[in-house]
């Protein structure tokens, strides 16, 4: 049964995230592919189908994702907004130990 359409035509080959990582060019880890599927990369998300706790993708969806991120990489990145860090508080001079601890008699 085809998971995406619900039909019984089994022409679509589904890949686990681990198998998709093996098919990627270069050294791509499973956690990277998982992050691309859940969070995306530069606004592009790897298309997946969830069955239970597992994510599945297809070779066609992987190819679409690789083409889309290649196009996203060709576009200039948006400039980062620089936010000034808060100024640190000045350190107070420490009192000597005799003044900080109560004296017991």
Per DSSP (E only), the strands in 1-105 are 15-16, 49-51, 54-57
Choice among 9-13, 86-90, 95-99 with the minimum mean pLDDT: 95-99
Q: What is the mean pLDDT of residues 51-66?
A: 92
Spatial distance between the Cα atoms of 38 and 23, rounded to a whole number of angstroms: 19
Q: What is the pTM of this model?
A: 0.60
Task: List the structure tokens of 59.
Answer: 């070779």
In this structure, the number of other CB atoms found within 10 A of the CB of residue 62 comes to: 20
């Amino acid at each position: 049964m085809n998971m995406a359409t619900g039909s019984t035509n089994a022409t679509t080959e589904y890949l686990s995230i681990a198998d998709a990582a093996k098919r990627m060019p270069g050294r791509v880890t499973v956690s990277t592919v998982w992050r691309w599927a859940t969070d995306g990369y530069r606004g592009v998300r790897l298309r997946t189908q969830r069955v239970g706790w597992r994510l599945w993708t297809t070779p066609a969806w992987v190819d679409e994702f690789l083409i889309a991120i290649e196009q996203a990489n060709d576009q200039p990145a948006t400039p980062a907004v620089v936010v000034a860090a808060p100024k640190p508080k000045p350190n107070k001079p420490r009192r000597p130990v005799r003044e900080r601890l109560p004296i017991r008699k």
